[in-house]
Amino acid sequence: MKAYKITGIFAATVLLAACGEKATNDADEAIQEVAESTASEPINALDLVLAGDHRSDEERARDQFRNPKETLEFFGITADMNVVEIWPGGGWYTQVIAPYLKSGGGKYYAAGFSRTGASDRVIAALDKFQETYVDHPEIYGDIEMTVLGSGGEIAPPGSADAVLTFRNVHNWQSRGTAEEYFAEFYKALKPGGVLGVVEHRADGAELPDDGSSGYVHTDDVKALAAAAGFEFDRSSEVNANAADTKDHPFGVWTLPPVRRSSEVRGVDDPDFDRAKYDAIGESDRMTLMFRKPVAADGALFE
């Protein structure tokens, strides 16, 4: 990953863009602080983003489980890349990746659902993402919302340096769309491009392979990627959690952050003892990196 040596005023500009609008005196203090720090050591743009005021304390508290810096570094993400995030949801990773790419001239694609025929709930979620992120280019850059499935494209074919998905494969298993979606990832990537997968890991437990528990077997993810044409590159234990026994009454959703206490989503059991599951923290997760191969002559493999 590139570590950016940034001059005082430019680094302050990146910092202020990540933090949002500030009063003049705050801006002056920020510029002075960054200028002093850059006099002796390099500033990493990703560190600035992670420290930005656009992230709430609650969101920042989850860094200990999601390890965003270490994860993005493992996938080799640099600020000048074209990156597609699949199903960004409420945008926890959007708040990290999009400002980071903005700092280096990269491009962020948010690949989600189509509005055509969508439910009111999906439309509301898309509108919220638009209002929170897309409508604030001063912080997040020029985000492009695209469509996964439904005849859409997640990015122009052969244009993406990386496609990233965080805790989504179990949903595609349960919907029967995993094979189709992995083929879409392959299509969008440049030759040599990276597919990064973080997913709740079923390994070591007797769990079904249909996504119903929220956990997925590592070999199943590798098989999906291989069937789409990807080559396995490497894995990391950066998001592992040895305390996760994976035998929870309501699947992975028993654990934080969902903290489900009943079979029916949104209905809490007031007598459910949460202490054991809260102590585990977030789930044990695989972190896998795949590449789209490059032919000997540099041509795409189709």
Q: What is the CATH number of the domain that holds 139?
A: 3.40.50.150
Q: Which of 205, 213, 207 is nearest to 170 (CA)?
A: 213
One domain for residues 43 and 82: no
Cβ partners under 8 Å of residue 77, min gap 6: 1, 83, 97, 100, 162, 164, 196
Buried b (16+ CB within 10 A) or exposed e, 73-88: bbbebbbebbbbbbbb
Q: Say if residue 87 is in the same domain as residue 229.
A: yes
Output the pLDDT for position 30: 46
Report if residue 265 sits inside a domain. no
- What pLDDT shows up at residue 34? 46
Regions of the chain where pLDDT drops below 70: 1-43, 296-302
* 273 in any annotated domain: no
Q: Looking at this protein, which amino acid is placed at residue 63?
A: D
Confirm whether 301 is domain-assigned: no
Domain that holds residue 36: 1-53
Buried b (16+ CB within 10 A) or exposed e, 31-42: beebeeebeeee
Q: Rounded distance, CA 225 to CA 227, Å?
A: 5
Question: Alpha carbon of 137 to those of 7, 99, 125, 272: distances in Å?
Answer: 23, 9, 19, 43
For residues 188 and 219, what is the distance between their CA atoms, to the nearest angstrom? Answer: 23
Q: How many residues belong to the chain?
A: 302
Task: Name the one residue in this structure whose structure tokens are 């003892």.
Answer: 273
In a domain, 198, yes or no: yes
- Do 70 and 128 lie in a common domain? yes
pTM of the model: 0.85
Residues 76 and 191 both lie in one domain: yes
Q: How far is CA 61 from CA 69, 222, 257, in A?
A: 14, 31, 11
Same domain, 117 and 173: yes
Alpha carbons within 13 A on the beta-carbon side of 263: 0
Asked whether 160 and 193 are in contact (CB, 8 A), the reply is yes
- Total number of domains in the chain: 2
Mark whether 192 and 88 lie in a shared domain: yes
Q: Among 32, 53, 74, identify where a domain stops.
A: 53
| Same domain as 115, residue 48 | no
> Could you tell me if 47 and 88 lie in one domain?
no
Instruction: Judge if 35 and 167 occupy the same domain.
Output: no
- In angstroms, the Cα distances linking 283 to 21, 65, 90, 243 are 35, 8, 19, 9
Burial of 116 (0-12, 13-18, 19+ CB in 10 A): exposed
Same domain as 168, residue 202 = yes
Position 2 scores a pLDDT of: 39
- 10 shares its domain with 67: no
Helices then strands, each counted (H, E), the chain: 13, 7
- Spatial contact of 85 and 164, defined as CB atoms under 8 Å apart: yes
The reply to whether 166 falls in a domain is yes
In a shared domain, residues 121 and 226? yes
CA distance 203 to 256: 20
- Within-domain flag for 253: no
